Amino acid sequence: MNLKRNKKGNKELLTKGFIFAFLLILSLLILVPFFWMISSSLKIDNEVFTVPIQWLPNKIQWINYSKIWTVIPFATFYKNTVILSVTITILQLLTSSFAAYGFSKLRFPGRDALFLAYIGTIAVPWQAYMIPQFIMMRSMGLTDKLVSLVLLQAFSAFGVFLLRQFYMTIPDELCEAARIDGLSEYGIFFRIMLPLSKPALASLTILTFVNTWNDYMGPFIYLSSTENKTIQLGLKMFVSLYDAQYSLIMAASVVSILPIAIVFLTLQKYFIQGIATSGMKG
């Protein structure tokens, strides 16, 4: 009996070892392009595309990271992107969490039909209404202004759906008990729902911040002046002006992804927890 148990335990251990090794190799393969990008950002231009690949620079060129701030107004692009990403993320968290609470914990006529109609807008491609949106923003005199992108992206049907599904896993008895104790709906929302929904909020924060930071078409359509452009438009300008200076392009790319990495690493614990607990009830 013990022999069979030991064989089964060894087999499970061996299987886990193979899975771990496979995932480790897969992770290293995924990280290869990022390593090459960082390495290329520290080289001189004629070392970037050498054959065979030169993984490490002969002499580290830290000056590449200082040049990118002077050849184009990179700091302005960075500032605009930070303002947009942080503002839109905060607004989406606020509006989505309020709407999700109403759709999950409040009772009113037509609630489910209204929710389905609102969520149905996810199926409509952005290309179908981007021209009417632009005409509307132009009629309001908001083109070439950061506020136009903020207004257009302050609400998210996907964010409402994500948080609503998480709020549904929180027992209604908690809200009922709080109402009996005299707590208002705002009190229930801020003192009960929000503290319990950190994983879902972290997931929405990461998704919204990354999407806003990497957005190219929105700023391309609405922003035309150099002082209002975002980092994605700045990178396109950089490539157009310095298409042969690959090391500078790679340095600019490395700097552009740093905020995304910081946000994800900061919230990854809650993000993984949100994935692990999604679909659980009660």
Mean pLDDT over 54-80 rounds to: 87
| Average pLDDT over every residue of 239-251 | 80
Do 86 and 210 meet the contact criterion of CB atoms below 8 Å apart?
Answer: no
0.85 exceeded by pTM: no
DSSP string covering 200-225: HHHHHHHHHHHHHHH--HHHHHH--S
pLDDT tens per residue across span 136-185: 989 988 888 999 999 999 998 999 998 998 888 888 888 888 888 888 88
pLDDT at residue 276 is higher than 70:
no
Mean pLDDT of 196-222: 90
Who contacts 282 (Cβ-Cβ below 8 Å, separation ≥6)?
169, 171
Q: CA 3: distance to chain centroid?
A: 50
The pLDDT score that the predictor gives to residue 36 is 87
What is the average pLDDT score of the chain? Answer: 85
Which residue would you say has higher pLDDT here, 277 or 129?
Answer: 129
- Percent of the chain whose pLDDT exceeds 70: 92
- Residue 37's Cβ-side half-sphere holds a number of Cα atoms within 13 Å equal to 15
User: What is d(CA 66, CA 247) in angstroms, rounded to the nearest whole number?
Assistant: 12
